């Protein structure tokens, strides 16, 4: 029998992986913002054009990369964030899969400018469809700028599948909110088609929520705080009177990473039972801090799901903590103006 199995060339493997990591422009925004955060940036700028179809650029003032790292960063499974399997259980970075840049470069035109603080000159690197077009000495600003143009240029089916610029921009904005809410200690700027969408100074959690969702939000927020051996919970719930028919302002962050969890959502909603109308949803911004060893974030390439060691305990703690905050708020209405 003839052997028929072959290893796929890298650029094909990258393109396949890209299908999982990059669903739409907002996925690129998420990956680039997370890389900027992992690089220790204190100010991050997001620039998009045409709903991200023409341009997605993220500029950070983080640590930057050496010329060799600049090139390596586009290789699949190339990462500076983990070295061994055990590191997966002690993650302190957003990234670890070493997949995002390789995936993005497989399906777009990318220009990277990057410079280490200790160096006078940095690197300008162009890569298109996994192919390095040029790498030159240049770039004088410390940090990294990644410009991603013509997303899905080589996958017409995917490009055609994208929604209107307006809809794609909404997805990008959602992603931006999630990242910005998780990191109030970082300043964020967001420009769309040349106009400023957000200018978020460094602040605290409450102020960041208010800066994103508007001054009126401040009076809605009731603080939540609990610390047990399993989890530290902080953040805010919206007062019951602001519950909405539509879902919207509902955010869970686990170790400063936005996650979706129908199970934990249920814990919060059930705590509101009896105080809001049955067909309405409470708003919440809840930050859960747990031991990194007690969760698995490597469930899905986009890392928006988490497996908790002890989900049931977490559910119970969350539910009673939210109930407690609601109770306090009812008894002492002025409480929510503290903090
Ligand atoms: P991961 O984030 O999972 O490590 P990526 O493909 O997103 O994988 O990035 C690969 C590597 O490139 C990172 O581990 C990091 O070393 C480097 N890198 C990417 N973006 C930046 C950035 N903005 N600043 C500094 N280094 C970066
Ligand atoms: Mg990354």
| Local confidence pLDDT in tens for the 339 residues of the chain | 799 999 988 888 888 877 778 999 999 999 999 999 999 999 999 999 999 999 999 999 999 999 999 999 999 888 998 888 888 888 888 888 889 999 999 999 999 999 999 999 999 999 999 999 999 999 789 999 999 999 999 999 999 999 999 999 999 999 999 999 999 999 999 999 999 999 999 999 999 999 999 999 999 999 999 999 999 999 999 999 999 888 779 999 999 999 999 999 999 999 999 899 888 999 999 999 999 988 888 778 778 888 999 999 999 999 999 999 998 876 444 444 444
pLDDT value for 330? 64
Residues 175 and 225 placed together within one structural domain of the fold:
no
For residue 264, is it within any domain? yes
Instruction: Give the mutation target among 34, 70, 99, 101 for probing the ligand 1 site: most ligand atoms within 8 A of CB.
Output: 101
Look at the chain and report how many structural domains it folds into.
2
Residues 171 and 250 placed together within one structural domain of the fold:
no
283 vs 236: CA distance, rounded Å: 9
CATH number, domain of 133, equals: 3.30.565.10
For residue 207, is it within any domain? no
Which ligand has the nearest atom to the CA of 104? 1
101 vs 324: CA distance, rounded Å: 44
pLDDT value for 338? 41
Residues 186 and 230 placed together within one structural domain of the fold:
no
pLDDT value for 268? 96
pLDDT value for 333? 45
CA 258–ligand 2 middle distance (angstroms): 15
For residue 136, is it within any domain? yes
Residues 323 and 273 placed together within one structural domain of the fold:
yes
CA 231–ligand 1 middle distance (angstroms): 29
Residues 103 and 189 placed together within one structural domain of the fold:
yes
Residues 186 and 253 placed together within one structural domain of the fold:
no
For residue 267, is it within any domain? yes
For residue 317, is it within any domain? yes
Q: What is the residue range of 99's domain?
A: 10-200
Note whether 233 and 286 are within 8 A (CB): yes
Residues 111 and 61 placed together within one structural domain of the fold:
yes
DSSP state, residue 107:
S
Query: Ligand 1, atom 7: nearest CA belongs to which residue?
Result: 100
Residues 93 and 224 placed together within one structural domain of the fold:
no
What pTM value is reported for the model? 0.93
Residues 43 and 79 placed together within one structural domain of the fold:
yes
User: What are the Cα distances from residue 297, in Å, to 115, 175, 210?
Assistant: 31, 18, 29
Taking Cα atoms as reference points, which of 168, 117, 109, 163 lies closest to residue 140? 117
CB atoms within 10 A of CB 225: 13
CA 80–ligand 1 middle distance (angstroms): 7
Residues 6+ apart with CB under 8 A from 60: 35, 36, 39, 41, 43, 44, 45, 143, 144, 145
Taking Cα atoms as reference points, which of 104, 102, 105, 145 lies closest to residue 122? 145
The domain boundary, picked from 169, 200, 231, lies at 200
β-bridge partners, 223: 236
For residue 208, is it within any domain? no
CATH number, domain of 328, equals: 3.30.230.10
Residues 292 and 170 placed together within one structural domain of the fold:
no
Residues 235 and 112 placed together within one structural domain of the fold:
no
For residue 252, is it within any domain? yes
DSSP state, residue 278:
T
CA 1–ligand 2 middle distance (angstroms): 43
For residue 3, is it within any domain? no
CB atoms within 10 A of CB 6: 6
The domain boundary, picked from 134, 169, 200, lies at 200
The domain boundary, picked from 150, 176, 200, lies at 200
- In degrees to the nearest 10, what's the CA dihedral of 29, 64, 45, 78? 0
Q: Which protein residues are within 6 Å of ligand 1, measured from CB?
A: 31, 35-36, 38-39, 60, 62-65, 73, 78-81, 95-102, 144
Query: Ligand 1, atom 16: nearest CA belongs to which residue?
Result: 80
Looking at the CA of residue 100, tell me the nearest atom of ligand 1.
6
Residues 56 and 189 placed together within one structural domain of the fold:
yes
Instruction: Give the mutation target among 35, 87, 302, 303 for probing the ligand 1 site: most ligand atoms within 8 A of CB.
Output: 35
Note whether 240 and 246 are within 8 A (CB): no
């Amino acid at each position: 029998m003839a052997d028929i199995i072959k290893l796929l060339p890298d650029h094909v493997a990258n393109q396949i992986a890209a299908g999982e990591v990059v669903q739409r422009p907002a996925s690129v925004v998420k990956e680039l913002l997370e890389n900027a955060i992992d690089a220790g940036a204190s100010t991050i700028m997001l620039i998009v054009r045409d709903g991200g179809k023409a341009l997605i650029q993220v500029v950070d003032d983080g640590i930057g990369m050496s010329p060799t790292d600049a090139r390596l960063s586009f290789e699949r499974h190339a990462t500076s964030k983990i070295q061994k399997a055990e590191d997966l259980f002690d993650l302190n970075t957003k990234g670890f899969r070493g997949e995002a840049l390789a995936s993005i470069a497989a399906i777009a035109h990318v220009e990277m400018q990057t410079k280490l603080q200790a160096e006078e000159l940095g690197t300008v690197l162009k890569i298109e469809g996994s192919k390095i077009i040029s790498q030159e000495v240049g770039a004088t600003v410390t940090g990294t700028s990644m410009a991603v143009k013509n997303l899905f240029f080589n996958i017409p089916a995917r490009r055609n599948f994208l929604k209107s610029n307006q809809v794609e921009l909404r997805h990008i904005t959602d992603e931006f909110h999630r990242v910005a809410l998780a990191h109030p200690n970082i300043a964020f700027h967001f420009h769309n088609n040349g106009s400023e969408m957000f200018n978020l100074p460094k602040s605290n959690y409450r102020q960041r929520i208010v800066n994103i969702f508007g001054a009126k939000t401040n009076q809605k927020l009731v603080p939540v705080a609990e610390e047990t051996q399993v989890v530290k919970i902080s953040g805010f719930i919206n007062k019951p009177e602001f519950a909405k028919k539509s879902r919207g302002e509902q955010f869970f962050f686990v170790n400063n990473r936005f996650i979706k969890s129908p199970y934990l959502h249920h814990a919060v909603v059930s705590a509101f039972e009896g105080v809001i109308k049955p067909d309405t949803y409470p708003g919440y911004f809840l930050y859960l801090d747990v031991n990194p060893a007690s969760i698995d974030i490597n469930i899905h390439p986009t890392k928006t799901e988490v497996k908790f060691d002890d989900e049931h305990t977490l559910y119970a703690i969350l539910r009673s903590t939210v109930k407690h905050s609601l109770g306090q708020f009812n008894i002492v209405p002025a409480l929510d103006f503290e903090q």
